[in-house]
């Protein structure tokens, strides 16, 4: 099988559990380190899927790699090459497909439940799962639904937590890829951001790390459902 291209936009926001899942399923992958100056490929030859990770920047920023990455996302979806986006990645997908990205009503940082909004559209991705489900959040912006997409998840602080397109692509505002190590790193690096926020949707680092292993295990059960569906569409 050809590799999945994984786009990392910040050194602190690596693929985490996503690559663990791929390795467990013997699916090859290649990391495109945008943060280290790797170029956005200009073609999709030899690519089985595209994964987009998070990052502290906005998709509306004037960054040289954003336009070619948006074009690559459009090419992938037009070619039925599966695309999956985590947080900033979901925003990049939405903007590439004609949606918009702007400020969420409140900043959302920490653990919070997500709720299914469309049972029929969610079932292929989530099966007969518990509702609500625990997810991890760290964002101040959010996306509108791009044309043709169906919303499948929401949270109390953010209306659009996940959408699907053509039974093959999924964009998420939440983070299902988190590991204990990633969460600890984010709490350390993001302590000042948390301290400066008065949002009701923001938790303290101490609160975020309570029962961390059990919460991450619960998160990975959600990730397993989403990732298992997504890899079914990979180009062989």
The predicted model gives 30-46 an average pLDDT of 97
Name the residues annotated as catalytic. 87, 175, 177
CA 44: distance to chain centroid?
A: 21
pLDDT at position 130: 74
Domain formed by 4-231, architecture: 3-Layer(aba) Sandwich (3.40)
Ordered alpha helix ranges (H), 107-234: 119-126, 180-189, 191-196, 205-208, 212-231
Between CA 226 and CA 170 the distance in angstroms is 9
236 CB neighbour count, 10 Å cutoff: 5
Residues 6+ apart with CB under 8 A from 34: 7, 8, 9, 40, 65, 69
pLDDT, one tens digit per residue, over 207-234 is 999 999 999 999 999 999 999 999 999 9
By CB atoms closer than 10 A (0-12, 13-18, 19+), residue 210 is exposed
DSSP-assigned beta bridge partners for residue 113: 134
Q: Where are the domains of the chain?
A: 4-231
**What percent of the chain shows pLDDT beyond 90?**
97
pLDDT tens, 56-85? 999 999 999 999 999 999 999 999 999 999
pLDDT in tens, 100-158: 999 999 999 999 999 999 999 999 999 887 789 999 999 999 999 999 999 999 999 99
Rounded CA-CA distance 204/209 in Å is 9
pLDDT given at position 131: 84
Report the pLDDT value the prediction gives residue 128, as an integer from 0 to 100: 81
Q: Angle, nearest 10°, between helix axes 212-231 and 180-189?
A: 110
Nearest CA to 110 out of 183, 41, 164, 180 is that of: 183
Q: What is the pLDDT of residue 200?
A: 92
* Per-chain mean pLDDT for the chain: 97
Confidence band, pLDDT 50/70/90 cuts, at residue 22: very high
pLDDT band at 88 (very low <50, low <70, confident <90, very high): very high
**Helical packing angle, 17-24 and 212-231, nearest 10°:** 50
Report pLDDT for 7: 98
pLDDT tens for 161-172 read 999 999 999 999
- Residue 195: is its pLDDT beyond 90? yes
């Amino acid at each position: 099988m050809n590799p999945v291209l994984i786009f990392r936009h910040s050194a602190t926001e690596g693929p985490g559990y996503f690559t663990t899942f791929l390795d467990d399923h013997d699916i090859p992958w290649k990391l495109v380190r945008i943060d280290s100056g790797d170029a956005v490929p200009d073609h999709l030859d030899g690519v089985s899927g595209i994964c987009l990770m998070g990052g502290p920047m906005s998709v509306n920023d004037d960054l040289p790699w954003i336009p070619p990455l948006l074009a690559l996302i459009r090419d992938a979806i037009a070619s039925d090459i599966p695309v999956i986006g985590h947080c900033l990645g979901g925003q990049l997908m939405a903007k590439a497909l004609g949606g918009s990205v702007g400020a969420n009503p409140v900043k959302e940082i920490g653990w919070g439940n997500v709720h299914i909004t469309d049972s029929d559209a969610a079932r292929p991705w989530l099966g007969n799962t518990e509702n609500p489900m625990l997810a991890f959040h760290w964002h101040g912006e959010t996306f509108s639904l791009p044309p043709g997409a169906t919303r499948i998840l929401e949270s109390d602080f953010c209306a659009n937590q996940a959408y699907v397109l053509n039974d093959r692509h999924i964009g998420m505002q939440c983070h299902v890829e988190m590991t204990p190590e990633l969460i600890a790193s984010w709490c350390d690096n993001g302590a000042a951001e948390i301290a400066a926020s008065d949002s009701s949707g923001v938790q303290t680092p101490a609160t975020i790390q309570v029962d961390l292993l059990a919460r991450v295990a619960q998160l990975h059960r959600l990730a397993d459902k989403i990732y298992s569906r997504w890899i079914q569409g990979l180009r062989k």
